[in-house]
Amino acid sequence: MGGEGEKETVTGYIAQLRAKIHYHNYRYYVLDEPEISDVDYDRLFTELEELERKYPELITPDSPTQRIGAKPVAEFGTYEHSIPMLSLNSVNTEVAVRDFDERVRRMLGVEEIEYVVEPKIDGLAMELVYENGVFIVGSTRGDGKTGENITQNLKTIKTLPLRILSETAPLLEVRGEVFMPVSKFKELNDSLGAKGDRMFANPRNAAAGSVRQLDPRVTASRPLDFFAYGIGRTEGKAFSTQWDVLAYLHKIGFKVSPLIRRFKEFEDVIKYHDAVKEKRDELDYEIDGIVVKVNRIEYQERLGLISRSPRWAIAYKFPAREEFTTVNDIVVQVGRTGALTPVAILAPVQISGVTVSRATLHNEDELRRKDVRIGDTVVVERAGDVIPEVVSVIKSKRTGAEKEFRMPGRCPICGADVLKEGPIVRCIGVSCSAQLKEWITHFASLRAMNIDGLGEKVIAQLCDREMVSDAADLFFLTKGDLLKLDRMGDKSARKILNALEKSKHTTLSRLIYALGIRHVGAHTASLLADNFSELESLRNASYDDLVHIQEIGPEVAKSIILFFKQGGTKDLLGKLERAGVWYEKREAAAEAKLEGQTFVFTGRISMAREEAKSIVERLGGKVALSVSKKTDYVVAGEEAGSKLEKAEKLGVKIIDEAEFREIIRDG
């Protein structure tokens, strides 16, 4: 096959592949009804990527591979809308929305008007230009005439088609709203908060902050979505109703709100408003009202505009989600993982039908950034079923009597010290009632004390009924206690008691891990057990002792020191001992049969050096790197070198691997 011919075939094949991917994207993201598995999808995508790498000249801007990866820009260019993007007049009352209907009918001189009703998405208005079905430019509304060109950012939105599904007009301008789903907003905020980064006040701000990023890669990492609700200029395509516009947009691959309806009776519009208002909290996107639009475009044209708003549409808003109130106090709440969260106690205020008297301030950094003080007048927002939060402080209302708040140095629940991890302050108490369930779950887990049969439900009941107040209490439970629990029979109770009994005989590393010291995972626990033969010595270890251990950094060392300083820790350890928890001391177990003996290894043996070393040490011996008169054995493997010569010279005993294995047998 000649070069040109091959290329033509490839071009055709790539086009087919892209069409397939566009289609499956649409099934997956827009319809939420995938037809193929993720693996098959990835296979198609990878194949396209590979072909494009081989033939970069065949890459087109609408290729599904071109959603992400564009370089950051210094600033956005401007974009002139060919038809101005209007704003909507809005009303809050039934009377006012009925006035709108009357005005429309009077001006048109018709009795019967059909309306299309849509939810008013609380996001940001965008315009997307498609030429011959390919997405060319995307822009913000701006002042209505001129917006910003944010094409690269909009391309990263998975529900925004890069290419329209079916054959289409030479020009189509699609208008709609970019938003962030409420659930995704929560996740994003949690992860920003955990990193100590600035959080967003609400999903709309999060969407705004994400879509206007100068680096499209940041936008790509943000969970944005898009609903289409209208068109701008078109060529080769005309519509007679808004309903047809929405149906067409849906047909060619856009996400259109499933809540759109059309009504001939205005009563139904009112009912729709009330029904959607009720459903507001169930939706995964924020809406702040409904939009009522005259369906017939001919009527729309006859009605025209008034200043910058159409006379043929109106926003009928829901009650605001934001209210003013005062901060009566700031308290600290301890979460189940021990995180201390500052919470504003508010003068109770009604926000869209719900009384709000507390709002989260997230963490100390956020609180400082917003500069919230006790006595302040603040704006509080309740978005969806998200925990209400303080959005901002009205500083002009300050009298000077406001009090700044400081995070406590101790846990307000149990009095233990707190440890700051980035922006999060955490209680390290071992018997903190706020954390008891988590604590005991960890204590009983497989890699910790491995208490079989002590599941989540049993732990929850033990804690809720206050049958245990720390982990050691588990060992004092009687069969009679356990039988009081729901769905606990004789057999299960016996099983749990056996498991508890069995777990008492443990190892030092398990016990250290089970203590739940911050930053001490199973691996670190076993390192500590290797370096301290007894819990007592770990307890008395100094900061220097700890940081001298390889792999133990300052943060971990500090956490260990602070942990053992707690009164609660001492009580718990005493109680565990009284309960009969014990671990075998390593030297004793190994009979210290190599006590005082030094080994040097040279050459290759079949056992890993590290393993050999750890066996010798476990048996009480030492491993040195060079041969001296003090060396007891030189273990010579294959291709042994100068150490062997030195051993011969000094008269040190030389053994081979088999003899070494004999010595350590039973170890």
Interface stretch with ligand IVH, choices 84-92, 460-468, 556-564, 600-608 (CB under 6 A): 84-92
Residues 499-528, interacting with ligand IVH (CB under 6 A) = none
Q: Which of 36, 59, 73, 86 binds ligand IVH (CB under 6 A)?
A: 86
Task: Please report how the helices 554-565 and 567-579 are oriented relative to each other, as an axis angle in degrees rounded to 10.
Answer: 70
Which residue in 130, 217, 213 sits closest to 170, CA to CA?
130
Distance CA(544)–CA(167), nearest Å, equals 72
What are the C-alpha distances in Å from 137 to residues 26, 112, 151, 177, 361?
A: 20, 39, 5, 15, 39
Q: CB-side exposure of 423: number of CA atoms within 13 Å?
A: 21
Report which of 430, 426, 436, 437 is spatially closest to residue 340, judged by C-alpha positions: 426
State the amino acid at position 611 in one-letter form: E
Binding residue (CB under 6 A) for ligand IVH from 24, 81, 141, 643: 141
Whether 457 is catalytic is no
- Residue 67's H or E segment, with its range, is none
* Least distance CB 10 / ligand IVH (angstroms): 43
Q: Which parts of 241-300 interact with ligand IVH (CB under 6 A)?
A: 291
- The footprint of ligand IVH on residues 610-649 (CB under 6 A) is none
Segment 297 to 326, residues that bind ligand IVH, using CB under 6 A: 310, 313
Selected range binding ligand IVH among 119-127, 166-174, 237-245, 641-649, rule: CB under 6 A? 119-127
- What burial class does residue 643 get, using C-beta atoms within 10 Å of its C-beta: 0-12 exposed, 13-18 middle, 19+ buried? buried
CB of 143 to ligand IVH, least distance (A): 12
Minimum CB–partner distance for residue 92 and ligand IVH (Å) = 14
Residue placing its CB nearer to ligand IVH in the complex, 231 or 538: 231
Q: What angle do CA 545, 547, 551 make, to 5 degrees?
A: 125
Work out the angle at residue 404's Cα, subtended by the Cα atoms of residues 398 and 406, and round it to the nearest 5 degrees. 165
d(CA 663, CA 632): 13
Which residue in 121, 173, 181 sits closest to 147, CA to CA?
A: 173
Using the minimum distance from each CB to ligand IVH, give the nearer residue, 383 or 454.
383
Taking CA atoms, 101 is separated from 262, 266, 271, 295, in Å, by 14, 8, 15, 13
Query: Residue 240, class by beta-carbon neighbours within 10 Å (0-12 exposed, 13-18 middle, 19+ buried)?
Result: exposed
CB of 46 to ligand IVH, least distance (A): 37
> At its nearest, how many Å lie between ligand IVH and the CB of residue 229?
4
310 vs 412 by CB, closer to ligand IVH: 310
Tokens 């208002």 found at: 277
- Spatial CB neighbours of 224, under 8 Å, sequence gap ≥ 6: 156, 157, 178, 179, 180, 207, 210, 211
| Chosen residue from 52, 62, 118, 148 binding ligand IVH by CB under 6 A | 118
Number of residues that bind ligand IVH (CB under 6 A): 14
Rounded alpha-carbon distances, angstroms, from residue 396 to 328, 378, 556: 18, 11, 45
Give the binding range for ligand IVH (CB under 6 A) out of 51-59, 83-91, 232-240, 374-382: 83-91
Whether 629 and 650 have beta carbons less than 8 Å apart is answered as yes
Shortest distance (Å) from residue 124 CB to ligand IVH: 6
**Tokens at 155, concatenated:** 């391309």
Which of 177/473 has CB closer to ligand IVH?
177
- Token readout for 482 is 């356990």
- Give the helix ranges, DSSP H, for 261-356: 266-279, 297-303
- What residues between 374 and 393 interact with ligand IVH by CB under 6 A? none
Q: Name the segment binding ligand IVH (CB under 6 A); options: 80-88, 321-329, 555-563, 596-604.
A: 80-88
- Calculate the alpha carbon distances from 209 to 123, 204, 223 in Å: 11, 9, 12
| Shortest CB 121 distance to ligand IVH, Å | 4
Site string for ligand IVH, 466-485 (x = CB under 6 A): --------------------
Complex with ligand IVH: residue 272 or 405, whichever CB lies closer: 272
Residue closer to ligand IVH, measured from CB, 158 or 293: 293
Determine the distance from the C-alpha atom of residue 264 to the mean position of all C-alpha atoms in its chain, rounded to a whole number.
45
At residue 139, the 3 state secondary structure works out as strand
Q: Applying CB under 6 A, which part among 63-71, 82-90, 184-192, 244-252 lies near ligand IVH?
A: 82-90
Considering only 125, 129, 343, 367, the residue that binds ligand IVH (CB under 6 A) is 125
CB of 316 to ligand IVH, least distance (A): 12
Q: Which is nearer to ligand IVH, 246 or 619 (CB)?
A: 246
- Of 21 and 260, the one with the shorter C-beta distance to ligand IVH is 260
Identity of the residue, 279 or 457, whose beta carbon is nearer to ligand IVH in the bound complex: 279
Question: Looking at 120, 186, 277, 293, which residue is catalytic?
Answer: 120
Position among 11, 65, 87, 149 found at the interface with ligand IVH (CB under 6 A): 87
Q: Which is nearer to ligand IVH, 26 or 316 (CB)?
A: 316
Q: Give SS3 for 173.
A: strand
Q: Which two tokens stand for residue 60?
A: 């087109």
**Contacting residue, 52, 62, 127, 177, with ligand IVH by CB under 6 A:** 177
Single out the residue of 562, 535, 541 nearest to residue 419, CA to CA.
562
Of all residues in the shown chain, the one whose CB is closest to ligand IVH is 125
Q: How far apart are CA 501 and CA 475, in angstroms?
A: 8
Closer by beta carbon to ligand IVH, 90 or else 377 = 90
User: Could you say which residues in the range 185-244 bind ligand IVH, by CB under 6 A?
Assistant: 229-230
Provide the minimum distance between the beta carbon of 230 and ligand IVH in the complex, in angstroms, as a whole number.
5
328 binding ligand IVH? (CB under 6 A): no
In the complex, the smallest distance separating the C-beta of residue 165 from ligand IVH, rounded to whole angstroms, is 22
Catalog residues that contact ligand IVH under the rule CB under 6 A: 86-88, 118, 120-121, 125, 141, 177, 229-230, 291, 310, 313
Catalytic residues: 120
